[in-house]
Amino acid sequence: MTSHDELKAWVDQVAALTQPEHIHWCDGSDQEYQDLLDRQLADGTLIELNQQTHPGCYLHRSDPDDVARVEHLTYVCSEHETDAGPNNNWMPPDKARAMMREHFQGCMAGRTLYVVPYCMGPIDSPISRCGVEITDSPYVVVNMQKMTRMGTAALRRIEREGTFIKGLHSTGQLDPENRYIMHFPEDLEIQSFGSGYGGNALLGKKCHALRIASHQARTEGWLAEHMLILGIENPQGEVHYIAAAFPSACGKTNLAMLIPPAEYEGWKIRTIGDDICWMRPGEDGRMWAINPEAGFFGVAPGTSESTNPNALAMLNRDTIFTNVAVTADMQPWWEGLDEGTPAFDWQGRPYDPANGPAAHPNSRFTVSSRQCPSYSPQAEAAQGVPLTAIIFGGRRERLVPLVIESESWQHGVLLGAAMASETTAAATGAVGDVRRDPMAMLPFCGYNFGDYWTHWLGFADRADQLPRIFHVNWFRKDENGRFLWPGFGQNMRVLEWIIDRSTGDAGAVDTPIGKMPGQGDLRVEGADVTLSDLEAILQVRKDEWKTELDEIARYLDSYGNRTPEKLRQECERVQSALESD
């Protein structure tokens, strides 16, 4: 129980509505975790994996109709539709609450109601924020224990501060026709019904850490972003921290856990986080950042010794897998692994290629960040880490060069607002369609993008040592479809230039779209890239960029009078530079 009167009253109200058989206040202890595992093993919610090869590892198979986020059923219920913006689905708060109340009525009958107090970020960090999730899913509880600082310490902070994010979740009957994720930003509240899947059910993740937190951050003067945070330590022991935003399928986790190439002897990567970054200006004028999460909820397929050996190495113990396949001796398996053969697919059927992939393409692993070989203890630093640079990136086969440095903070915000990736025929039926995903926040910003960009621009007046902003693109191809840049660990070469530019130790050339490496500015010895490839990947095709800037201007205009004039002016400045160059 708790001494917090508002929290007690809320739990009582939810219990009266949902009618659970039992109420359990979670303390986050190891014993509680084991008891929850035992309960789920007994009822089949979890399946024990090979404890000789994967001690402490378990498999969860979700309902086949409940395997991913449901963006079309995710709503931002602000009082006014214009505050949610065209980047969000909107529903009036009163209507949403009435509808959700009907769904929650009696939904926990025969179940246990779990009260899950949690802290997003280090317990003693001033940047951290707390929440309480009420759920009827023990699977959610064990995942929240890995993904957040969950339990008694979080509850004590809530009692001291008096405030918390309210999150109410029930799996309901897992009916896809009655599945909703509602966000009430003005009330700092989340309601989720009808799903047991990750981002729909682990309310500390996208719901709190991005949609609600982005709104809260705007009010309180900080930023909640869909970004990795990594530290780069050079042979002299100097560490620079970088935050980076990428849309899906652009290698965010791989970059967060990068292993430098052989030519970078003595360099080390320190992983702070792979998905979410909260940052605010410090008293020294620099931007300080924390990873609010305590674990990784990563996509399994494609994770291998060649793509991300650090990620693979942390999955051999104390991991919860969701919707992966298994081998005959009950080891987890997914497409991309170099060893093993699937015996049963993600639905538990004997593996048959005619049924599709063995592991669901969105199958996941949940694991503590501390198990990552490149984990940095600075992930628990109360003050966070100071950012040297911020990187935006997308997947563009032709247009966007390998790396661009912004001319100013304002120009950097434009680079982020204009972020885009090209779709594939498999996904959309048309190769090369450009999907704008500003700051990689399209599914996650809890309010109008126009206001969001205004908030970003405002930091230029609030700090005098802001991080330099860059844009990268690892995915340029030649006319034959061959990648011009080797990617993965070789991206270290670009990171080195970014750091050196931020500290004044590297050269650059001016182009109409920003500063770029000149000849000899990138260290490419030993990389599988020719001089002609490098020249091509750094080429600025002015006519194509004029078309791109016109499209960016139209996109910005789609947010009407909410689009900040400074951003329009910056777009016009780049357009003029292209015309006059």
Q: pLDDT tens-digit profile of 364-400?
A: 999 999 999 999 999 999 999 999 999 999 999 999 9
Inter-residue contact 268 to 260 (CB < 8 Å): yes
> 196 a known binding residue?
no
**Total residues found in the chain within this entry:** 581
Q: In this structure, which topology does domain 295-371 adopt according to CATH?
A: Phosphoenolpyruvate Carboxykinase; domain 2 (2.170.8)
Q: What is the mean pLDDT of residues 283-289?
A: 97
H/E segment holding residue 515: strand 514-516
- Pick from 227, 250, 185, 216: which is nearest to 416 by CA? 227
So what's the pLDDT on residue 251? 86
> 363 a known binding residue?
yes
> 218 a known binding residue?
no
Q: Report the DSSP pairing between strands 320-322 and 112-120.
A: unpaired
So what's the pLDDT on residue 559? 98
Helices and strands (DSSP H and E) totals, the chain: 17, 29
Does residue 432 have a pLDDT over 70? no
CATH number attached to the domain at 225-293+378-540: 3.90.228.20
Q: What is the mean pLDDT of residues 350-363?
A: 97
**Tens digit of each residue's pLDDT (9 = 90 or more) over 468-507:** 999 999 999 999 999 999 999 999 999 999 999 999 999 9
Does residue 545 have a pLDDT over 80? yes
> 571 a known binding residue?
no
In sequence order, what are the residues at sequence separation of 6 or more whose Cβ sits closer than 8 angstroms to the Cβ of residue 83? 447, 448, 451
CA distance 137 to 201: 9
Does residue 100 have a pLDDT over 80? yes
**Tens digit of each residue's pLDDT (9 = 90 or more) over 494-505:** 999 999 999 999
- Backbone phi, psi, residue 434, to 5°: -95, 125
CA distance 195 to 68: 9
Does residue 426 have a pLDDT over 70? no
Inter-residue contact 20 to 104 (CB < 8 Å): no
So what's the pLDDT on residue 427? 39
Does residue 431 have a pLDDT over 70? no
Tokens standing for 400? 């966007």
Q: What is the mean pLDDT of residues 51-57?
A: 98
Does residue 248 have a pLDDT over 90? no
- Give every strand in the sheet of 320-322, ordered side by side: 47-48, 58-60, 320-322, 364-368, 295-299
**Tens digit of each residue's pLDDT (9 = 90 or more) over 183-225:** 999 999 999 999 999 999 999 999 999 999 999 999 999 999 9
Q: In this structure, which topology does domain 5-46+71-221 adopt according to CATH?
A: Phosphoenolpyruvate Carboxykinase; domain 1 (3.40.449)
**CA 267 to chain CA mean position, Å:** 26
> 491 a known binding residue?
yes
Does residue 429 have a pLDDT over 80? no
> 364 a known binding residue?
yes
Active-site annotation holds for 250 = yes
Interhelix angle 5-18/93-104, rounded to 10 degrees, is 60
- Pick from 202, 225, 194: which is nearest to 444 by CA? 225
Q: How confident is the model at residue 433 (pLDDT cuts 50, 70, 90)?
A: confident
Single out the catalytic residue among 250, 372, 445, 571.
250
CA distance 188 to 94: 15
Q: How confident is the model at residue 441 (pLDDT cuts 50, 70, 90)?
A: very high
> 253 a known binding residue?
yes
Does residue 424 have a pLDDT over 90? no
Task: Look over the chain and give the mean of its residue pLDDT values, rounded to a whole number.
Answer: 96
Q: What is the mean pLDDT of residues 429-454?
A: 89
**Torsion over CA: 384, 385, 386, 389 (sign):** negative
So what's the pLDDT on residue 535? 95
Alpha helices in 236-333 (DSSP H): 252-256, 309-313
Domain boundaries, the chain: 5-46+71-221, 225-293+378-540, 295-371
Does residue 447 have a pLDDT over 70? yes
Tokens standing for 446? 């809890």
355 versus 423: which is more confidently predicted?
355
Tokens standing for 496? 């080195």
> 69 a known binding residue?
yes
> 393 a known binding residue?
no
Q: What is the mean pLDDT of residues 501-523?
A: 96
**Quick one: CA torsion of 75, 81, 87, 89, rounded to 10 degrees?**
30
> 199 a known binding residue?
yes
225-293+378-540 and 5-46+71-221 share a CATH fold = no
Q: Can you tell me whether residue 111 is helix, strand or coil?
A: coil
